[in-house]
Structure 1
Amino acid sequence: MINVLCKEGKLKKAKGMLAMMECFGVKPNIVTYNTLVQGYSLRGRIEGARMVIKEMKSKGFKPDLQTYNPILSWMCSEGRASEVLKEMKELGLVPDSVSYNILIRGCSNKGDLETAFAYRDEMMKKGFAPTFYTYNTLIHGLFMENKIEAAEMLIKEIREKGIALDAVTYNILINGYCQHGDAKKAFALHDEMMTDGIEPTLFTYTSLIYVLCRRRKMREADELFENVVGKGMKPDLVMYNALIDGHCSTGNMDRAFLLLKEVDKMRIDPDDVTYNCLMRGLCGEGKFEEARELMGEMKRRGIKPDHISYNTLISGYSKKGDTKQAFMVRDEMLSLGFNPTLLTYNALLKSLSKNQDGRVTEELLMEMKSEGITPNDSTYCSVVEAMSNLEQDAEKSDN
């Protein structure tokens, strides 16, 4: 019962259940306490976990690795693993395979692959063989840091050890190549996966559809989508968003909106990503008012526009040269607590360069400076263009 309550996040009730057990003379064991520690740790309530450890010690139970590994997991994500490792050492607890995998995952997620591999090597020296989880974590980390060759070397190492790749490994590799735009290697791995008798998952197909859309191969993407549906799989929002974005990027807005209708028909709730893609597509076709109306629909459906939504509209109006509307959207963005980004300022400056408003241009540059945003080449180009236009106008007036 305590385990169920902890999984549901009802920690107060779980603690109350422990007290009730003791009232009825049922003595908790170390598993009971470890379950509570895990419950608190999973939700980042480390002080609560430490209170449970303190209580278990007072009852004569010595914390073990099952006690500390959940705490290590959370603290690792916070960059504070050394605190827990020190505490474990003081208690005479030596990290096990689970501990090392936690440390490797934490370092990989933070991009510290050097330390992650150092833990892998230490793990092996201590007699713990790396598991699929170990390798998958490292491969994912390498792809995240754009270290493709190193990831391929690790795969070679795995194969040389006679270890067959599992579905998770294939999906990490396929997604990694897709994220880097290498459709050829991604599809080759898909074929190899099938040959090995491993059935591709929805995640596999979503990755492949993503790379096809990214390469603007929309016919192939649509065909693969139909293949997924034909297999009896239910596409999720991530897959639909990839297709919607692809069709918006290639100017096929009719198909994009048909997919939105399909999303609704499937009773899948669209999100800000869905609408941002559609808004960007409409702005790309110069349909700024339709994009603005779409933002209204987005709000009516309870989907909050984000800074990307506002920047999309601002960029659209700026390209049109409608400075007034661009600044109105910027003001709405500010009123909702969104801070302008470099993209926001560059779009506004571009609009001002067309309208030759030097005073507002200078004010905007000062505002950027006060916000701590560093101008880039695009910023300077817009400013130079604005000032050049002003000088030309001044010369014409003098003549």
Structure 2
Amino acid sequence: MGVKDSGESSSSGDNDGRCQKSQSLNFGGFDEFEEGEGETCCDIDDDDFVALNSYSVQCDRTDDVWKIELEEDEFRHPLVREINRLIQLRLSWNSKLESDMRHLLRSLRPRQVCAVLLSQDDERVVLQFFYWADRQWRYRHNPIVYYAMLEILSKTKWCQGARRVLRLMARRGIQCRPEAFSYLMVSYSRAGNLKNALKVLTLLQKAGVELNLALCNTAIHVLVMANRLEKALKFFERMQIIGIIPNVVTYNCLIKGYCNLNQVENALQLIADMSSKNCSPDKVSYYTIMSFFCKEKQVNEVRDLMEKIVKESNLLPDMVTYNTLIHKLSKHGHADEALDFLREAEARGFQIDKVGHSAIIHS
């Protein structure tokens, strides 16, 4: 789950001082967004990156992402389970059930409210509960609840819902960090609205929120997922001009973009260039290229890459490596090659699970 815990203050009390923003945020830029879920707006140009020019060079920007990790105990808490039960009865709600829900809501701690949101299978139900709770007397959402809500919506195409949550944060005086805008950007991207996804950068600027590496990585990711690698590379250059140094996540996004366009040589060259940038490739960097080779049935290239990993990066093949190879080869119908890697893995003492065996059988 993605929101850094802002403390265990009661969700009905005042927010943590670190979570408040003293200045008034300017969110007039919301009106510039085009309405409609699922609209496809793919005509982008360099003007969509103009917001980058407003940020000063060599600013100190850390990759500081709000995160909250919920324990299983929080999902199993009696209050959380009872609210989930009442939500399931929403079609037959009456004044007594709503009163019971309201009473329970005021007893929930912020992390437990997040657990309720994450327990729902339908994002529409999540939004309904979120807004219902926001309207209740003597209750106020803790900041982490807003970020949990935005993260949930970022996994859907409900970009307008994410936009409304961000506006509500502004009205409630909740600090809008770059991660909040990042979630909105991803939601627009999932809805196929790349134009509005990139307009989030301008919205960030108007709100007076400082750009950071995490949001830059999100922008590159959405461009890559839209098969706009050329634009992603331009953004990659511009972010460095204003002093934002890429990390391994940035490079992995671009490696994925090259592989998506069958430009594996460029992907390999990017990995080679990373060392000179004081950024070592990780297993994801190599797994992305391995997946490309598996799709193309280039087993010799896979083995050469495995040797390179050991020699240059000191990353030893493990069970995850072999599981990745077996599943990718099986997915693309290369059962014999997958079986060879399964036998090799077991010879090295790794236990491939039943899912791996089944993948080979059904490939």
State the AA in 1 paired with 2:325: T
Find the partner of 1:109 among 46, 67, 70: 70
State the AA in 1 paired with 2:72: G
Find the partner of 2:184 among 208, 216, 224: 208
Q: Corresponding residue for 2:115? A: 141
Superposition deviation, residue 306 in structure 1: 2.0
Superposition deviation, residue 186 in structure 1: 1.6
1:120–1:326 distance in 2 versus 1, CA, 3 Å: closer
**Are 1:364 and 2:325 an aligned pair?**
no
Superposition deviation, residue 212 in structure 1: 1.7
State the AA in 2 paired with 1:373: I
Superposition deviation, residue 196 in structure 1: 4.5
**Are 1:346 and 2:346 an aligned pair?**
no
**C-alpha distance in 2, partners of 1:342/1:300?**
31
* Equivalent pair of 1:280/1:312 in contact (CA under 8 Å): yes
Superposition deviation, residue 361 in structure 1: 4.7
Deviations 1:106-149 (A, max 9, x none): x972222354345999xxxxxxx999995421222334455664
Superposition deviation, residue 239 in structure 1: 0.8
Number of residue pairs aligned between Structure 1 and Structure 2: 272
State the AA in 1 paired with 2:115: G
Superposition deviation, residue 227 in structure 1: 2.4
Deviations 1:275-306 (A, max 9, x none): 11110110111100100001111222222222
**C-alpha distance in 2, partners of 1:331/1:183?**
44
1:234–1:341 distance in 2 versus 1, CA, 3 Å: farther
**C-alpha distance in 2, partners of 1:171/1:179?**
13
**C-alpha distance in 2, partners of 1:112/1:194?**
32
**Are 1:306 and 2:282 an aligned pair?**
yes
Q: Secondary structure at the match of 1:336?
A: coil
* Equivalent pair of 1:327/1:348 in contact (CA under 8 Å): no
* Equivalent pair of 2:75/2:81 in contact (CA under 8 Å): no
Equivalence map 1:246-395=2 (5 Å)? 246-334=222-310, 336-339=315-318, 340-348=321-329, 353=334, 358=336, 361-369=338-346, 370-374=349-353, 376=355
Q: TM-score, normalised by structure 2?
A: 0.62
* Equivalent pair of 2:224/2:253 in contact (CA under 8 Å): yes
State the AA in 1 paired with 2:315: L
Equivalence map 1:23-102=2 (5 Å)? none
Q: Corresponding residue for 1:32? A: none
**C-alpha distance in 2, partners of 1:277/1:108?**
25
Q: Corresponding residue for 1:41? A: none
State the AA in 2 paired with 1:363: D
Superposition deviation, residue 246 in structure 1: 0.9
**C-alpha distance in 2, partners of 1:144/1:118?**
14
Superposition deviation, residue 272 in structure 1: 1.6
Q: Secondary structure at the match of 2:284?
A: helix
Structure having the higher helix fraction is 1
Poorly superposed stretches of 4+, deviation over 6 Å: 129-133
**C-alpha distance in 2, partners of 1:153/1:367?**
51
**C-alpha distance in 1, partners of 2:179/2:142?**
14
Superposition deviation, residue 180 in structure 1: 4.4
* Equivalent pair of 1:228/1:235 in contact (CA under 8 Å): yes
State the AA in 2 paired with 1:186: A
Superposition deviation, residue 203 in structure 1: 2.8
1:217–1:191 distance in 2 versus 1, CA, 3 Å: same
Stretches of structure 2 that go unaligned for 5 or more consecutive residues are: 1-7, 11-67, 83-102
State the AA in 1 paired with 2:71: K
Q: Corresponding residue for 2:92? A: none
* Equivalent pair of 1:326/1:348 in contact (CA under 8 Å): no
* Equivalent pair of 1:345/1:368 in contact (CA under 8 Å): no
Q: TM-score, normalised by structure 1?
A: 0.57
1:367–1:226 distance in 2 versus 1, CA, 3 Å: same
Q: Corresponding residue for 1:236? A: 212
**C-alpha distance in 2, partners of 1:244/1:262?**
11
**C-alpha distance in 2, partners of 1:288/1:207?**
29
Q: Secondary structure at the match of 1:109?
A: coil
1:205–1:108 distance in 2 versus 1, CA, 3 Å: closer
Superposition deviation, residue 376 in structure 1: 3.9
Larger radius of gyration: 1
**C-alpha distance in 1, partners of 2:290/2:198?**
31
* Equivalent pair of 2:322/2:341 in contact (CA under 8 Å): no
* Equivalent pair of 1:108/1:141 in contact (CA under 8 Å): no
